[in-house]
Amino acid sequence: MRGRPGNRASALRQRLAVLAYPVGSLVGLLLLWEVAIWVFEVPIFLLPPPSLVLAETVNKFPQLLSHTLTTGYETVLAFLLSVAVGVPVAVSLVSSRPVERAAYPLLVASQAVPKVVIAPLLTIWFGFGLAPKVYIAFLIAFFPIVVSTVVGLKSVPVELIHVGRSMGLNPIQMLLKIRLPHALPSMFGGMQVAIALSLVGAIVSEFTGASAGLGYLLIITIGTLDTVVMFAGILASVVLGIVLFSVVVWIERWAIPWHASQRLQAGAVS
């Protein structure tokens, strides 16, 4: 049954209103930035104006696109690997109390190790190819996936567990039909964090032993003090992050539309 035209128009207005706030604040910030540089006569090598950064982005678009695609490829691989490994690990932690007691503290402790420190070590182990970059990004994005999935699986109401047991569901059926569907909103929340962290990890990993990518581009511009291209690379990373985050949000709306509609209604009420 199709929605009424009035409801669709109202939903469209709500989405445009939500989009207007960040776009308006961004435009205002850029204008303030441009005017401040002109008024205070800030040197370009210290802080270039947004207009110059945009012009350089257009001028070097093919080069920026090539570096962006390289970083995006590494980011997506690391994100998919973090989901493929993190979800089963979270399920094992929830399913077995001894496993949780033994492994969870180690997972938490692993996050205290600075990933920038082990990036050169991974380069020594795996060379200058794709593997160390994906692995660094995976290490950063893995933990949010595990934590959010564990929280989601443990937040299932006891009543649903009792209903499943009364229906004779075995542990695997209980997981697939009750626990995982209920945990999906929490899992997608972790995925939204993980995709952003994957991008950060990919860029950081490119600081050492890379010949392409946005991180490599930023290192080169630091050495030459080319702040205009540096800001163009930062702009490309921001756009890439927004695109990847939006893709995860779109997948969430497709997979659990009921949750997305509830969140939209809550935003409209507030």
User: For 36-77, how does the pLDDT look when each residue is reduced to its tens digit (9 = 90+)?
Assistant: 998 888 888 888 999 999 999 999 999 999 999 999 999 999
Give residue-wise pLDDT tens across range 101-157.
Answer: 888 888 888 887 777 777 777 777 877 788 889 999 999 999 999 999 999 998 888
pLDDT at 263: 56
Are 90 and 157 in the same domain?
Answer: yes
Which residues, other chains included, contact 62 with Cβ-Cβ below 8 Å and sequence gap of 6+? Answer: none
Residues 197, 22, 250, CA angle at the centre, nearest 5°?
A: 55
Are 150 and 247 in the same domain?
Answer: yes
What is the rounded CA–CA span in Å between residue 78 and residue 191? 12
Q: What is the average per-residue pLDDT within 68-91?
A: 95
Are 10 and 93 in the same domain?
Answer: no
The larger pLDDT score, comparing residue 26 to residue 65, is at 65
pLDDT at 265: 52
Are 141 and 161 in the same domain?
Answer: yes
Are 11 and 127 in the same domain?
Answer: no
DSSP symbol at 133 = H
Are 35 and 51 in the same domain?
Answer: no
* Residue 269 scores a pLDDT above 50: no
**3-state SS of the chain: helix, strand, coil percent to 5?**
85, 0, 15
**Domains in the chain: how many in total?**
2
Give residue-wise pLDDT tens across range 154-192.
Answer: 888 888 888 888 887 888 888 888 888 889 999 999 999
pLDDT at 55: 93
Are 91 and 1 in the same domain?
Answer: no
Are 169 and 252 in the same domain?
Answer: yes
Total Cβ atoms within 10 A of residue 203: 27
Reference 176, options 148, 151, 156, 191; nearest CA is 156
Query: Which residue range forms the structural domain that includes residue 258?
Result: 46-269
Are 221 and 114 in the same domain?
Answer: yes
Confidence of residue 4 (pLDDT cuts 50, 70, 90): low
Do residues 209 and 34 touch, judged by C-beta distance below 8 A? no
Confidence of residue 1 (pLDDT cuts 50, 70, 90): very low
Are 93 and 147 in the same domain?
Answer: yes
Are 30 and 161 in the same domain?
Answer: no
Q: What percent of the chain has pLDDT over 70?
A: 89
* Residue 93 scores a pLDDT above 60: yes
Are 117 and 230 in the same domain?
Answer: yes
The larger pLDDT score, comparing residue 174 to residue 241, is at 241
pLDDT at 205: 87
User: pTM of this prediction?
Assistant: 0.85
pLDDT at 79: 97
Mean pLDDT of all residues in the chain?
Answer: 85
Confidence of residue 268 (pLDDT cuts 50, 70, 90): very low
What CATH number is associated with residue 167?
1.10.3720.10
